[in-house]
A and B are shown apart, each in its own frame.
Chain A
Amino acid sequence: MKINVVFTLVFTLALSHSFGQVKKSTKGTFALTNATIETVTKGTVSGTLIISEGKISALGSNVTIPSGANIIDCKGMFIYPGMIDGGTQLGIVEVSSISLTDDSDELGELTPHMEAITAFNTSATAVSVTRVDGITTTLVVPQGGLFPGTASLVNLVGYTPDQIYAGFKGVVLNFPGAGRRGFWDRRTDEELKKEEEKALKQLNDVWTEALYYVQVTDAAAKDPSIKVASNPEMARIAEVIRGKMTLLIETNKASDIEAAIKWAQDKKVAKVVLTGVAEGWRVADKIAKSGFPVITGPIIALPTRESDNYDKAYANPGIMSKAGVKVAIRTNDQENVRNLPFHAGFAAAYGMSKEDALKSVTIVPAEIFGVADKLGSLEVGKLANIMVTTGDPLEPKTQIKYLFIDGWIVPLDSRHIQLYEEFLNRSPGLKK
């Protein structure tokens, strides 16, 4: 109890510190001139990129700069689309070891109506820490039970759910599987098998109930005498059954991936994305044949089996990509989502083409989420989610010089940077 009080006190102080930031995001018309523009979808262009009313309004070598535009000379610099992390707990977990700061995992197996965006702390310290490295958009994914909740895509600027929402929601299904979760997971093979069977039965029971819910609500829509009690769990799964929402199926072990594909095909789920997919390389052809896109990661990770090559997690996206799978990359992280470009970089070092690696954190997730008309590449009419860099964004050495999210120029400021500025040459130093 005493400890909780102390934590609460310290937390209050922590929050007041972040409220004290004076640098603010602003909006306007910007002309980024003399840049090398890496569009991702339409090659490399030298010239100017114009941002107005939150969007990319022009780009190319022959661009008229609107009067009154803020001109930023990008000579020697590169413009890339902001990166998209296809799976994180950023904003819903602040300090993972303190359970009261973890909003990612609600109680119960059947909570598909839990909205991750509701618990997203737009002022979380990690938000600015993440975006200053060029990650402009993240999928916020609840975790835990069979149907832990609904994930939301957010842009990392703004203070309300409406301001950050980036146009995609998906229902998460943790597909029943038999994997151990860490070195501390001491369940026996038999226990794992039993739990898997139980969970699969539970899933099928839920699905049957949801199909029934769809029938009943369809009937109720035609016949006002039929009354349907409120059932938010079933109502959310019904959205998936009706093809209005995407089902994000988390699955990692090869046999589970195959089972998940078969299950989704049997149930004729209209919109399916496979997530995790750590052993996708074992069944890459089968995934490709299903046509289901994949969001995989973390890439910088150990192989799933001691008997596998040391580099299988690194090589996984490349192997799936070469087999014809549409592959996006995620960190599945909380505080270190900023490492997204490095996960893509490792994928490139171990077999994925550099081009595909960059796409896996830009246009591919945008396509998977159905927001490629707004995000994921530098094209006229798209949202200005943009980073200006000194070079290849997947290289650690590269610096981010300017950042725009949703058309707002965002200060390159975070607590990590503030501490650097305060302590590089501390004052007072050794002597006061």
Chain B
Amino acid sequence: MFKILNIFNLLFLVSFAQAQVTKGSLLIKNGTILTVTKGNMENADLLVENGKITKMGKGLVAPAGTQTIDATGKFIMPGIIDAHSHIGIDVVNEASRPSTADVWVGDALDPLDLSVYRALAGGVTASHAMHGSANAVGGECETIKHRYGTLNPEEMRMEGAPRTIKFALGENPMRVHGEGNRIVPATRMGVEQIFRKGFEEAKAYMAAWDLYEKEKVKNPAALKPVYNKRHETMAEILKGNIIIHCHSYRSDEILMLLNVCKDYQIKRLVFQHTNEGFKVAPELAAYGAMASVFADWWAYKFEVYYSTAYNAAILTKNGVVTSINSDSEEYIRHLYHEAAKTQRYGSLSDEEALALITINPAKQLGIDQRVGSLEIGKDADIAIFDGHPLSIYAVPQYTIVDGVIRFNRSKDAADQRLQASATRAETGFFLHKEQHNHDRCLEGAFENTATFFGLERE
């Protein structure tokens, strides 16, 4: 009986896991395919079967009844990936301690967030829902697919995506903890020691567990070390199982974290924002650290005053795997345009510019085997534009996730909210002005200490 129940449970679990993700089949006919990794194909078709790209070429035929999109005159590109955003989550910052490696954004997924639909309307199929930058060590993040329409938070997760964690350098942790709470770090020196202390504690913690495992063999009554989620997470970083994504601006602090990672043999490292990454591009390239940047944000606070819109181009030409991110529910809607700015500022080629929002962010999130380019066998995450996506006049027409059309411009109705929720009851007028100085990375960080800098003025 027990066995049967177990088998039943197992079957239930398996079917539940499969039921989580809706997958579709599609034939996209006669468009210009921009694969990003393997060149372009003119007047070509792309076949999607059960959520995967199965064929690309001319004159493809789909099984009868397969949904077909006529892409004549249109451009088909991989679904855009945002390596830094805060959409699809209910809360951004656990701003209570300089290290909160024990928290996880994946516990706060919000399938009702309209921003996910609006991102789809900009061709974006996946994003990195990140913890904020209030703490030197923030929480773990979640890579989500934009399966807007589901009410199940579990279905938002990109199944199998590697674990990632948010680190943060510079003004934000200094403001929140040093100035706000009068605890370390108040300086960039203090920020460094938060990491070193955290990794030292994690090493001691791992050693204690190793010792226990050995002791246990000889002595079944050996005392277990106290479980500590914060040390567990830091230990997983040391073991290479979690990718660091670090909020950073100045070149000195970037080099600092590079040195910390060198000392602890941590290889998987992506710098976020990285406004002064261009100054240390050779060091980043040599280490294999990657960079995710804004196209042109600068001057909204002092640590971004010495920025250049040529950052992405300099990094790219120095061999750093670079992406362009949004960090904004507004900017995420036009990352294709943000990528195009690298053609004005640094004359990147079409392929280099498109890689910044497709295969490169996929590499940074460790999901490039699955998404980020149009290749046979990859997930059918696709954006279709009516013009070349790097043109200012291009408008996204269809956005497809796992072979399912999640955005169709011709069927876009005014109210796309899934339902009113307690925290999103706002239906009235809401004038949006991009508030760089209150960047979204700090959302929620000043609930209790709302007297600092720009926030005091409103």
Interface contact B333-A420, CB-CB below 8 Å: no
Residue of B nearest to A252 (CB): B431
How near does chain B come to A332, taking the closest CB pair, in angstroms?
Answer: 7
Tally of chain A residues near chain B (CB < 8 A) = 69
Interface membership of B58, Cβ < 8 A: no
How near does chain A come to B422, taking the closest CB pair, in angstroms?
Answer: 14
* Chain-A contact segment, one of B35-43, B261-269, B363-371, B450-458: B450-458
Interface of A is mostly: loop
Residue of B nearest to A420 (CB): B310
How near does chain A come to B41, taking the closest CB pair, in angstroms?
Answer: 22
Interface membership of A226, Cβ < 8 A: no
A178: chain B residues at CB < 8 Å are 429
B297: chain A residues at CB < 8 Å are 336
Interface contact A420-B314, CB-CB below 8 Å: yes
- Name the 9 nearest CB pairs between A and B, nearest first: A345-B392, A420-B310, A97-B437, A335-B299, A396-B340, A419-B308, A97-B301, A430-B282, A416-B308
The 0/1 profile, CB within 8 Å of B marked 1, for residues 393-430 of chain A is 01111110000000000000001110110011010011
Interface contact B300-A95, CB-CB below 8 Å: yes
In the assembled complex, the Cα of A190 lies from the Cα of B299 at a distance in Å of 36
How near does chain A come to B397, taking the closest CB pair, in angstroms?
Answer: 12
Once A307-B415, A346-B392, A396-B341 are accepted as A-B contacts, the answer to whether A95 and B301 lie under 8 Å apart by CB is yes
Most A CB contacts (10 A, CB to CB) among B282, B343, B393, B430 go to B430
Interface membership of A57, Cβ < 8 A: no
Interface contact A179-B306, CB-CB below 8 Å: no
Interface membership of A306, Cβ < 8 A: yes
Most A CB contacts (10 A, CB to CB) among B298, B412, B432 go to B432
A419: chain B residues at CB < 8 Å are 278, 306-308, 310
Interface contact B429-A304, CB-CB below 8 Å: yes
- Residues of B with Cβ closer than 8 Å to A? 114, 117-118, 121, 278-279, 281-283, 286, 296-302, 305-310, 313-314, 317-318, 329-330, 333-334, 337, 340-341, 343-347, 390-395, 412-417, 424, 426-438, 443, 453-455, 457-458
Interface membership of A14, Cβ < 8 A: yes
B341: chain A residues at CB < 8 Å are 396
Residue of B nearest to A429 (CB): B282
Once A336-B296, A348-B392, A396-B392 are accepted as A-B contacts, the answer to whether A304 and B283 lie under 8 Å apart by CB is no
A14: chain B residues at CB < 8 Å are 305
In the assembled complex, the Cα of A5 lies from the Cα of B427 at a distance in Å of 45
Partner of A182, one of B305, B417, B432: B432
In the assembled complex, the Cα of A97 lies from the Cα of B437 at a distance in Å of 5
Most A CB contacts (10 A, CB to CB) among B300, B413, B438, B443 go to B300
Residue of B nearest to A344 (CB): B392
Interface membership of A311, Cβ < 8 A: yes
A298: chain B residues at CB < 8 Å are 433-434
Within 8 A of B (CB), among A290-319: 298, 300-302, 304-311, 313
A342: chain B residues at CB < 8 Å are 337, 392
Interface contact B395-A181, CB-CB below 8 Å: no
B392: chain A residues at CB < 8 Å are 341-342, 345-346, 348-349, 394-396
In the assembled complex, the Cα of A179 lies from the Cα of B432 at a distance in Å of 10
Once A96-B454, A310-B333 are accepted as A-B contacts, the answer to whether A126 and B299 lie under 8 Å apart by CB is yes
Interface contact B428-A301, CB-CB below 8 Å: no
In the assembled complex, the Cα of A396 lies from the Cα of B435 at a distance in Å of 24
